[in-house]
Amino acid sequence: MLTTAPRGTKDILPDTSGHWQYIEETAYTVCRTYGYSEIRTPVFEHTELFLRGIGETTDIVDKEMYTFTDRGERSITLRPENTAAVVRAFLEHKLYAGPQPTKLFYMGPMFRYDRPQAGRYRQFHQFGVEAIGSKGAAIDAEIIVLAVQFLRKLGLNELKLNINSVGCPQCRPVYRTRLQEFLKEKVTAMCGDCQSRFDRNPMRILDCKKEACTALSQGAPQMVDCLCDECQAHFSQLKDLLTAADVEFVLNPRLVRGLDYYTKTAFEIQYSPLGAQSAVCGGGRYDGLIEECGGQPTPGIGFAIGLERVLLALEKQNLLPQAKNDIDLYIAPLGENAQAPAFRLLCQLRQEGIACDMDFLNRSLKAQMKYANKYPAKFVAIIGEEEVQQNKVMLKNMETGEQQLIDMDTIQQQFKAERKG
Ligand code: AMP
């Protein structure tokens, strides 16, 4: 127990943290290009926020939340996703009073009590984007293109973008009735979850991954055939904009979100080489959510990308950059008397932004050279008894093997020049 992380969690060790930084930096760069600013919200919120913001009939709220009562008798939940928290912050800090739309992105850990498997964890990380305040299809297109560009920039090209429209509170009830009509004879043969979805949330039946349920719902009426004029126009504009941006998509009528405050655009990006857990990005419009959370009616759209899955995809395709741990200089003190001058040099050079390290284990010169080679270090500064007395260091170029005795006080300039040369 004491030496094992909890099930479904993972340590990110030094050999992979560079890969995470690479993915995160790519996300920062893309967001900056698109005019999105970062927001950081707490990893826990009042449970009520997620009950409202995700919906009580969803799997997340039904089965997957990490909820506990804190010492002040408040019900607290570790965030299972971040849209609700961003909306809470948008309202709390009156971000609607600033330039519109409010374009935000976030990155960080999410928590869901799910059965762990490859690509599915209990603590996982999402990079997400939310655009609040615009109801036009152009912002839908913008964030979809942003997601695609982020994945492509990392080198992932075999992307499949699925899109659908889930309508709005005007046209959805008509569809819901047609769908229930179609499913009512079949539902008794479906899984327990689908049976309970029939009344509560029938559109979610289309989303069930169980083979029997998928087969039984084949041929079900499609939301896109029941859209009102406004939703229809929005959807066709979105398709035109994606085509204009050269982003390929397929219409997937099974892509649904059964809650009232999800409206119009729903989308998902799959990376098929990942196999079972191939969804890397899920998103959609939530024009009713802000009102649901206590604000004025305000349209919004967002997505979340699962970073563990992105990392798995990059690993699979050999697209991760080589780790770069090399340093400019390794300082090798020999003996007690060399410790203080070596340490002073180390501190001075580091202040100048020169990446350097020194021996902290009193190793022999041979062992220190071996260690410096492993780093790798471009130069080694050897400081022995003689060098200490002369206030000098022996600077060795590890590439050429050249050595020269250099004044300790001028090493900074000389070393800089050496680096340039
Ligand atoms: P969702 O918030 O459920 O729409 O998920 C958005 C994305 O987050 C998915 O496409 C996955 O890439 C990722 N994701 C969701 N749940 C998990 C999980 N339990 N473990 C790892 N990644 C996940």
What is the distance in A from the centroid of ligand 1 to the CA of 256? 15
CB 207 near ligand 1, within 6 Å? no
Tell me if 309 CB under 6 Å of ligand 1: yes
CA of 5 to the centre of ligand 1 (A): 21
- Pocket-testing residue among 120, 126, 148, ligand 1, by greatest number of atoms within 8 A of Cβ: 126
Q: Where are the alpha helices (DSSP H) in 125-210?
A: 137-153, 172-183, 192-200
pLDDT of residue 329: 95
Q: Say what the pLDDT of residue 277 is.
A: 86
Query: In this structure, what token pair is assigned to residue 291?
Result: 């009102």
Q: How far is the CA of 312 from the centre of ligand 1 (A)?
A: 13
CB of 121 shorter than 6 A to ligand 1: yes
The answer to whether the CB of 418 is under 6 A from ligand 1 is: no
Q: Classify domain 14-168+228-317 at the CATH superfamily level.
A: Bira Bifunctional Protein; Domain 2 (3.30.930.10)
What is the C-alpha to C-alpha distance for residues 374 and 313, in angstroms, rounded to an integer? Answer: 29
* pLDDT at residue number 56: 75
> Do 277 and 120 touch, CB atoms closer than 8 A?
yes
* Ligand 1 close to Cβ of residue 257 (< 6 A): no
Any atom of ligand 1 within 6 Å of the Cβ of 106: no
Q: What is the pLDDT of residues 99-154, one digit of tens each?
A: 999 999 999 999 999 999 989 999 999 999 999 999 999 999 999 999 999 999 99
Question: Among residues 350, 352, 405, 347, which one has the least CA distance to residue 381?
Answer: 405
CA 330, 334, 336, 341 torsion: positive or negative? negative
Enter the tokens of residue 237: 């504009």
Q: Residue written as tokens 């098929």? A: 272
Going from the C-alpha of 239 to that of each of 101, 125, 136, 163, 165, the distances in angstroms are: 21, 30, 13, 9, 11
Q: What is the pTM of this model?
A: 0.93
> Which atom of ligand 1 lies closest to the CA of 121?
20
Closest residue by Cα to atom 8, ligand 1, is: 306
Nearest residue (by CA) to ligand 1, atom 11, is 306
Residue 332 CA to ligand 1 center (angstroms) comes to 48
Binding site members for L-histidine: 81-83, 112, 126, 130, 257, 261-262
The answer to whether the CB of 282 is under 6 A from ligand 1 is yes
255 Cβ neighbours under 8 A, 6+ residues apart? 162, 163, 164, 207, 266, 267, 268
Domain layout of the chain by residue ranges: 14-168+228-317, 327-417
Nearest atom in ligand 1 to 116's CA: 19
Name the residue with the closest Cα to ligand 1, atom 18: 120
How far apart (Å, rounded) are the C-alpha atoms in residues 252 and 162? 6
Residues of the chain with pLDDT under 70: 258-259, 415-421
DSSP state of 273: G
Looking at residue 144, its pLDDT comes to 98
Q: Which fold has domain 327-417?
A: Rossmann fold (3.40.50)
Nearest atom within ligand 1 for CA of residue 120: 20
CA-nearest residue for atom 21, ligand 1, is: 120
Q: Is 280 in the pocket of ligand 1 (CB under 6 A)?
A: yes
Q: How far apart are CA 64 and CA 95, in angstroms?
A: 30
d(CA 114, CA 342): 52
